[in-house]
Amino acid sequence: MNEIRKPRNTPAKRFHMAAVGLVATAALATTAACGGGGSGTTQPARTITKTPPTATVTASEPSASSQSATASRASQTQYLSDLDPLTSTQGVDASAVEINGEGFARSVTLHVNAAGPVSSAEYNLGRHWDSFSVTAGMRDDSPTGGKLTFEVSVDGDLKTSETIPLGKSQKIKLNVSNALRLKLSVTYSGPDAGTDYYGSWGNARLKS
């Protein structure tokens, strides 16, 4: 019988087999890294969210013309105690008074007696005002027993006339739109010829 000889495992052959194994291992690693093959793992998709731009609102400053228009529409008040009369027969006392126990800080007073039974003062309105308001009456330090008649005229036309005794008062409000002149008058009607009486116009004021 012929003897079958096994091939010898030489060092050259062992080197060749090792080299083949390294090549195969490298090929498998490359395939896994590249995601090759039908059974490769699919990487999840990334979601990108866009943030909408923020709108910036800038408040504009009011113009000078709009501010002027607003100021012109605002109500204004002018006290007669802060004005000089155009004319007056016996002078005007601009000061605080008490009428029927009530104090009025910004008032005008006309004094009268038998020797000068009528006292008046006229003011320029300049067609700038809409209304005139006042509380009229005898000043509380006037003598007992007298009466005074209070009259208001606008551009020469008598608008109101009130006879008021000591210890009483009367509120008056008049429309003076487009008026040029305002006249206040006090007439004496008391029994004592030698005594002064004081006709006061409490907080007499113009408004627009």
Mean pLDDT of 141-159: 94
Residue 137 maps to a domain: yes
**Token pair listed for 72:** 């012109």
How many C-beta atoms surround the C-beta of residue 182 within 10 A?
25
With respect to residue 94, please indicate whether it lies within any of the assigned structural domains.
yes
Has residue 65 been placed in a domain?
no
Q: How far is CA 45 from the centre of its chain?
A: 59
* pTM of the predicted structure, to 2 decimals: 0.65
Token pair 């029927």: residue: 100
- Whole domain around residue 194: which residue ranges? 77-207
**Number of domain units in the chain:** 1
Least confidently predicted of 55-69, 111-125, 192-206: 55-69
- CATH, residue 146: 2.60.120.1060
Is residue 162 a contact partner of residue 99, using CB atoms and an 8 Å limit?
no
Q: Identify each DSSP E strand in 53-146 by its residue range.
A: 77-79, 87-88, 93-99, 102-112, 118-124, 131-138
64-80 confidence digits (pLDDT tens): 444 433 334 578 999 99
- The reply to whether 131 falls in a domain is yes
Report how far residue 153's alpha carbon sits from residue 151's, in angstroms, rounded to the nearest whole number. Answer: 7
